Amino acid sequence: MASRKLVLGTILYPSGHHVAAWRHPSTSASANVDVDHYIRSARAAEEAGFHIAFISDRLGIPQSRAEALQRVDEWSHGFEALTLAAAVATATTRIGVIATASTSFNEPYNLARQLASLDLISKGRIGWNIVTSSLEQERENFNPIPSFDHADRYERASEFVETVLALWESWNPDSILRNKQSGVFLGPDALKSVDHEGRFFRSKGPLNVIPSSQDHPILAQAGSSDAGKALAARTADVVFTAQPDLAAGRAFYQDLKQRRGAEGRSSDHLLVLPGIFPVVGRTRAEAEDRYATLQDLIQPEVALSLLETYLGDVDLSGVDIDGPLPDLPQSNSIRSRQGLLTGLARQEGLSVIGLARRIAGARGHWQVIGTAEDIAGQMEDWFTAGAADGFMVLPPTFPDGQDDFIRDVVPLLTHRGLFEPDVTARTLRQRLNLPRPLRMNTKTERKSA
């Protein structure tokens, strides 16, 4: 496909994606409570032609160690994702805004409403990152749910998404007449009940929010377990993923595209976007220096605690941190990430603290430290090798890390013919070249899955 172009997203975050970014002289240590910080980041990305500003979220403080918690600025980045998405969407006009919300601790009717409302607020630029909330610290903040087992969480997620889609489709936009003369606002078939009664949810419908100009928000997914990939293949438009290198990225990409094909749907309409943690320098030495400056700011308590969380809430307190990673109990919570990290430790021969520091920066995402040419070249490699349809950028620091990428790397991507800001698209669905959901067809597709 000659005209295939890179999709670019930025992941909004407090002082930066490097865990010690808040200590860096160039960042603001109060970014995590400063909505203007998020708005500035999103506007800069919009200005550069990015497709997506992404907002992650968590329903608790994911921290095993108090000493570590006291040394970071990121508890669910300080804001709740849907309200922050509304603020960012209000302050921008073109960029898509994808916000995270959990299927384990919400009701479909509430989330369907909030997302549809966001889609109106943004004039068709919203996406929903579907997560199942894996942490014990999240579960404890809510009334018990029947089961928090990995399989049950994904079964619940699947029914949740189906219910939300049905609610979004409970309106027929063509029958909204608004006829002042006759007094008829809605035609007789403008809305219909949903009458959902499943294992996890009940919802009669219809929704009381009208569809936006992109029909409904696009769906994103970041689960990388088997169940996560199955859900993504069945329902997602966009997949975010953390892949440490090209080989892993390609395997993941091919797996997902094949699963989508097996659903009888076009794999072009499932965009796989790995994360990239870019450290840009005018020379490689300058880039390495910049990285070293950040790494030097990492406090060991923080790195170790992060590693514990990323390994699935294991307890490393008795472990020799200068020795190799011990065998771990298979975690119910973040299965796939555990596999990636143990693989990385083995591959690079890292000690526990070495692995902790190694991932504390990029958190298992693909890390590239080099000149803008280096970075653009490697992005091209991933794109052409079938490992990525685009990338989610995790700037090490805000605003400089993002500004560097925009100023130095984006023009090279454009120059290489890989990237071209779409100035005609009005909705996120158009911007991502995704088809409009065919109401009846998508229903059939989902049912057959």
Ligand X SMILES: Cc1cc2nc3c(=O)[nH]c(=O)nc-3n(C[C@H](O)[C@H](O)[C@H](O)COP(=O)(O)O)c2cc1C
Q: Which of 184, 247, 292, 385 binds a copy of itself (CB under 8 A)?
A: 184
In whole angstroms, give the CA distance from residue 222 to residue 242.
9
Radius of gyration of the chain (CA): 22
Strand duo 184-186 + 176-179: pairing: antiparallel
Q: Is 275 in the site for ligand X (CB under 6 A)?
A: yes
Write the binding mask 376 to 415 for a copy of itself: x where contact by CB under 8 A, - elsewhere. Answer: ----------------------------------------
Find the shortest distance in angstroms from Cβ 53 to ligand X: 13
From the list ligand X, a copy of itself, none, pick the one residue 41 interacts with, judged by a Cβ distance below 5 to 8 Å according to partner type.
none
196 alpha-carbon distance from chain centroid: 28
Q: Is 213 part of any known ligand binding site? A: no
From the list ligand X, a copy of itself, none, pick the one residue 118 interacts with, judged by a Cβ distance below 5 to 8 Å according to partner type.
a copy of itself
From the list ligand X, a copy of itself, none, pick the one residue 335 interacts with, judged by a Cβ distance below 5 to 8 Å according to partner type.
ligand X
In whole angstroms, give the CA distance from residue 253 to residue 239.
10
180: CB partners within 8 A, 6+ apart: none
Q: Is 209 helix (H, G, I), strand (E, B) or coil?
A: coil
Q: Is 100 part of any known ligand binding site? A: yes
Q: Is 139 in the site for ligand X (CB under 6 A)?
A: no
In whole angstroms, give the CA distance from residue 163 to residue 82.
19
Q: Is 26 in the site for a copy of itself (CB under 8 A)?
A: no
Residues making up the chain, counted from first to last: 449
Number of other residues whose CB lies within 10 A of the CB of residue 271: 24
Among 56, 21, 14, 74, smallest CA distance to 38 is for: 14
Site for a copy of itself, residues 206 to 235, rule: CB under 8 A: 206, 208-210, 212
Q: Is 22 in the site for a copy of itself (CB under 8 A)?
A: yes
Q: Is 25 in the site for a copy of itself (CB under 8 A)?
A: yes
What are the φ and ψ backbone dihedral angles of 367, each rounded to 5 degrees?
A: -110, 125
Q: Are 358 and 348 in contact (CB under 8 A)?
A: yes
Q: Are 442 and 28 in contact (CB under 8 A)?
A: no
In whole angstroms, give the CA distance from residue 391 to residue 272.
8
Q: What is the DSSP string of 273-299?
A: EEEEEEEE-SSHHHHHHHHHHHHHT--
Q: Is 269 part of any known ligand binding site? A: no
Write the binding mask 285 to 304 for a copy of itself: x where contact by CB under 8 A, - elsewhere. Answer: ------------x-x-----
Find the shortest distance in angstroms from Cβ 78 to a copy of itself: 6
Partners of 196 in beta bridges: 203
Q: Is 146 in the site for a copy of itself (CB under 8 A)?
A: no
Cis geometry, peptide bond prior to residue 399 (ω within 30 degrees of 0): yes
In terms of CB distance, is 117 or 132 closer to ligand X? Answer: 132
Residue reference for tokens 């925009």: 406
Q: Is 224 part of any known ligand binding site? A: yes
Q: Is 131 in the site for a copy of itself (CB under 8 A)?
A: no
Find the shortest distance in angstroms from Cβ 283 to ligand X: 29
Number of other residues whose CB lies within 10 A of the CB of residue 318: 6
What are the φ and ψ backbone dihedral angles of 241, each rounded to 5 degrees?
A: -155, 155
Q: Is 336 in the site for ligand X (CB under 6 A)?
A: yes
Judged by CB under 6 A, the number of residues near ligand X is 22
Q: Is 283 in the site for a copy of itself (CB under 8 A)?
A: no
Q: Is 40 in the site for a copy of itself (CB under 8 A)?
A: no
Q: Are 164 and 134 in contact (CB under 8 A)?
A: no
Q: State which amino acid sits at residue 107.
A: E
Residue sitting closest to ligand X (CB): 228
Q: Is 242 in the site for ligand X (CB under 6 A)?
A: yes
In whole angstroms, give the CA distance from residue 141 to residue 334.
19
Site for a copy of itself, residues 66 to 125, rule: CB under 8 A: 66, 69-73, 75-76, 78-80, 82-87, 89-91, 105-107, 109-110, 113-114, 116-118, 120-121, 123
Q: Are 409 and 278 in contact (CB under 8 A)?
A: yes
Site for ligand X, residues 200 to 239, rule: CB under 6 A: 222-225, 227-228
Q: Is 361 in the site for ligand X (CB under 6 A)?
A: no
Q: Is 154 part of any known ligand binding site? A: yes
Stretch that binds a copy of itself, among 61-69, 152-160, 233-241, 270-278 (CB under 8 A): 61-69
Q: State which amino acid sits at residue 390.
A: G
Site for ligand X, residues 40 to 99, rule: CB under 6 A: 56-58
Q: Which of 8, 72, 131, 369 binds ligand X (CB under 6 A)?
A: 131
Q: Is 309 in the site for ligand X (CB under 6 A)?
A: no
Please tell me the number of Cα atoms within 13 Å of 54 on its side-chain side. 29
Judged by CB under 8 A, the number of residues near a copy of itself is 76
Stretch that binds ligand X, among 310-318, 328-336, 349-357, 432-440 (CB under 6 A): 328-336
Can you give the binding site for ligand X, defined by CB under 6 A? 56-58, 100, 131-134, 222-225, 227-228, 240-242, 275, 334-337
Q: Binding site for FMN: which residues?
A: 57, 100, 150, 154, 224-225
